[in-house]
Amino acid sequence: MFQTFKNAWKIDDLRKKILFTILILVIFRFGAAVVVPFINGETLQATLNTEGTIFGFFNLMTGGSFSNATLFALGVTPYINASIIIQLLQVVIPALERWSKEGEEGHRKANMVTRYTSIGISLVLSWVYYLMVSRQGALYYTEGFAKYFSAAVIICSFTAGSVLLMWLGEQIDVKGIGNGISLIIFAGILSNLATVFPQVLTYFKVAAGNYTDASGVAYAAQPAYYVLVPLIILMFAAMFVLIVVVTSAERRIPVQYAKRVVGRKMYGGQSTNIPIKVNMTGVLPVIFASAFLSLPGTLRDLVGWTDGWLGAFLGWFNTNNWGYAIIYAILILGFNFFYVAVQYNPVQIANDLRKNSGTIPGIRPGKPTSDFIARVVSKITLIGGIFLVIVATLPIVITKLTGIQISLGGTSVLILVGVALEISNTLESYMLMRHHKGFLE
CATH number at residue 256: 1.10.3370.10
Pairwise CA distance, residues 119 & 172, whole Å: 20
CB 172 within 8 A of CB 178: yes
Residue partners of 230: CB distance under 8 A and separation at least 6: none
pLDDT of 153 reads 92
Same domain, 231 and 187: no
Question: Do 319 and 229 have their domain in common?
Answer: yes
pLDDT of 69 = 87
Q: What are the b/e assignments for 119-128, b being 16+ CB within 10 Å?
A: bebbbebbee
Residues lower than pLDDT 70 in the chain: 1-2, 49-54, 56-57, 214-215, 259-269, 297-312, 314-317, 319-320, 406-408, 433-441
Asked if residue 229 and residue 140 are part of one domain, the reply reads no
Coil/strand/helix, residue 404: coil
- How much is the pLDDT for 441? 43
What's the total number of domains in the chain? 2
Residues 175 and 231 in one domain: no
C-alpha distances out from residue 275 to 252, 278, 280, Å: 4, 10, 10
Q: How many C-beta atoms surround the C-beta of residue 360 within 10 A? A: 20
- Are 334 and 293 spatial neighbours (Cβ–Cβ below 8 Å)? no
Q: Are residues 148 and 242 in the same domain?
A: no
The whole-number pLDDT of residue 98 equals 82
Q: Confirm if 67 and 59 have CB atoms less than 8 A apart.
A: yes
pLDDT at 265: 65
Q: What is the pLDDT of residue 131?
A: 84
Q: 110: how many CB neighbours lie within 10 A of its CB?
A: 21
Give the residue numbers spanning the domain of 46. Answer: 1-194
Both 376 and 314 in one domain: the answer is yes
245 & 346 share domain: yes
Is 230 found in the same domain as 156? no
Q: 149, 172, 194: which is the final residue of a domain?
A: 194
Question: Between β-strands 271-277 and 358-359, what pairing exists: parallel, antiparallel or unpaired?
Answer: unpaired
Q: Establish if 187 belongs to a structural domain.
A: yes
Does 147 fall in a domain? yes
Residues in the chain: 441
Q: Is there a single domain that holds both residue 190 and residue 276?
A: no
How much is the pTM?
0.78
Determine the residue type at 342. Answer: V
Does some domain include residue 240? yes
Inside any domain, residue 207: no
Are 388 and 262 part of one and the same domain? yes
Which one of 194, 214, 232 terminates a domain?
194
pLDDT for the residue 154: 92
Q: 212 in a domain, yes or no?
A: no
Question: What does the alpha-carbon distance between residue 136 and residue 304 come to, in Å, rounded to a whole number?
Answer: 12
Same domain, 114 and 63: yes
**Shared domain check, 186 and 327:** no
Does residue 50 lie within any of the structural domains? yes
